[in-house]
Structure 1
Amino acid sequence: MAFHEVRFPDDISRGARGGPERRTQIVELASGDEERNASWASSRRRYDVAYGIRRADDLAAVVAFFEARNGRLYGFRFKDWADFKSCLPSQTPSATNQVIGTGDGTTTAFQLVKAYASGAQTWTRAITKPVAGSVTVAIDGVEQATGWSIDTTTGLVTFDTAPASGAAITVGFEFDVPVRFDTDTLDVTLDIERLGSITSIPLLEIRR
């Protein structure tokens, strides 16, 4: 996958709009009942970062970032300010936030994930772009300062020695969303009051 490990400017992404999208097929029967089927097993996020442009310099930064990514060709990192931690937005990530696996005495690599729970239902999201320096790891509730490494390009935690059988492996982290531009054209409007604007700059989450 063509991907640049760079992050879209934070001061512009802070004003973006967007969030998760799902694809559901709904068939209404003659009786008025419905049959619903999920076309996607996982959600996909969409954003529009045009709302974060407030100055002419912001506009210039977006145009430069767009050109450097060759439009839709290269993916990049994006900070979703509404959802970028392993914990609640008001909290600080800790090593016991998310369970990523249970030791079996053999497995050494575990994928970062984040669980979204509501009532009895839980959906688990794979996290592939953790922020460097933000990941902490614990085994059975005891934080591990050494003995492991994190690949910030894939979200894989690898232990030097496989965790013991039955040991709970938990993590805390901040993360970015892998996205790409969902357009090959930037429609720039110049005006006196705003010194330039773009009506829409859509981003689309990249799923592997």
Structure 2
Amino acid sequence: MAFHEVRFPTNLSFGAIGGPERRTEIVTLASGFEERNTPWAHARRHYDAGMGLRSLDDLAALIAFFEARAGQLHGFRWKDWADYKSGLPSAPVAFDDQEIAKGDGQTVAFQIVKNYVSGAFSYARPIVKIVKDTVRAGAGGVEMFPGAHFQVDHLTGTITFKDPPPVGAEITAGFEFDVPVRFDMDRIAVSVASFQSGEVPQIPVVEVRL
């Protein structure tokens, strides 16, 4: 499967319904206690693109996008309006939004992550599809600047510093990002009459691992 570095129309994804899915295996023992395990290290997100359609023009744009991706064959970028930036939705991106690593005095390349924290527990989500020209970064509490101090691979989510951050320095980043997805079906079935009367087609979209 190829991945097309093109974003699904944001005016259509704005009305979509979806979010993360986890896979948990639960075994109930004879004693009534449970053993719970997960084969997934990371969540997988699902969306319904049909919920964002509001006009026949929107439907035409969706069909064109679907055909250009050859259905399920090629992946693409998706803006999850509920979770698309490093900080709070109401706050601008800041260089110290997320701690992504600590310097060891030698390493210069780091994977950008977003940390989801609740109480004493947290989950670090690797971010691979960065929105171009949105990354701010810092080391040891000091902001660094793109070009002069670091470069970003927007296709893999890797940030590379010109010089290795010092030992123990907190490496931070702020950014906007997309979710890598594909269509989860090879057929769009829609009636213009039913669409105009308010019936919206289901267009499932699912996150892909890269």
TM-score, with structure 1 as normaliser: 0.95
Contact 1:59 1:197 survives alignment (8 Å): no
Decide whether the 8 Å contact of 1:98 with 1:171 is kept in 2. yes
Say whether 1:98 aligns with 2:98.
yes
Q: Which amino acid aligns with 1:84?
A: Y
Residue 148 of structure 1 pairs with residue 182 of structure 2: no
Conservation of the 8 A alpha-carbon contact between 1:189 and 1:196: no
1:171 matched to which residue of 2? Answer: 173
Give the match's secondary structure for 2:168. Answer: coil
Instruction: Name 1:189's counterpart in structure 2.
Output: 191
Gaps of 5+ in 1: none
Q: What corresponds to 1:136 in structure 2?
A: 136
Name 1:157's counterpart in structure 2.
159
Deviation at 1:24, TM superposition (A): 0.6
On the 8 A contact 1:103/1:163 being kept in 2, the answer is yes
Distance in 1, matches of 2:132 and 2:49, equals 24
Higher mean alpha-carbon deviation, 74-83 vs 26-35, is at 26-35
Conserved in 2, the CA contact under 8 Å of 1:115 and 1:125? yes
- Deviation (angstroms), 1:196: 8.6
Preserved CA contact (<8 Å) 1:190 1:197:
no
CA distance in 1, matches of 2:150, 2:205: 33
- Does the 8 Å contact 1:182/1:203 carry over to 2? yes
Indicate yes or no: 2:84 matched with 1:84. Answer: yes
- Structure 1 residues 193 and 6, CA, compared in 2 at 3 Å: closer, same or farther? closer
Q: Would you identify which runs of 4 or more consecutive aligned residues in structure 1 move more than 3 Å?
A: 195-198
Residue 194 of structure 1 deviates from its aligned partner by: 1.2
Cα distance, 1:147 vs structure 2: 1.4
Deviation for aligned residue 1:155: 0.5
Determine the structure 1 residue equivalent to 2:10: 10
Find the counterpart in structure 2 of residue 23 from structure 1.
Answer: 23
CA contact (8 A) 1:56 1:195 kept: no
SS at 1:133 equivalent: coil
Count of equivalent residues: 208
Give the TM-score, by structure 2 length. Answer: 0.94
Structure 1 position 104, deviation (Å): 1.4
Report the RMSD for the aligned CA atoms in angstroms: 1.5
Query: 1:125 corresponds to which letter in structure 2?
Result: R
Q: Is 1:207 equivalent to 2:209 in the alignment?
A: yes
Q: Secondary structure at the match of 2:89?
A: coil
**SS of residue matched to 2:30:** coil
Amino acid in structure 1 at the alignment position of 2:164:
A
CA distance in 2, matches of 1:187, 1:11: 21
2: CA distance, partners of 1:193 / 1:6: 27
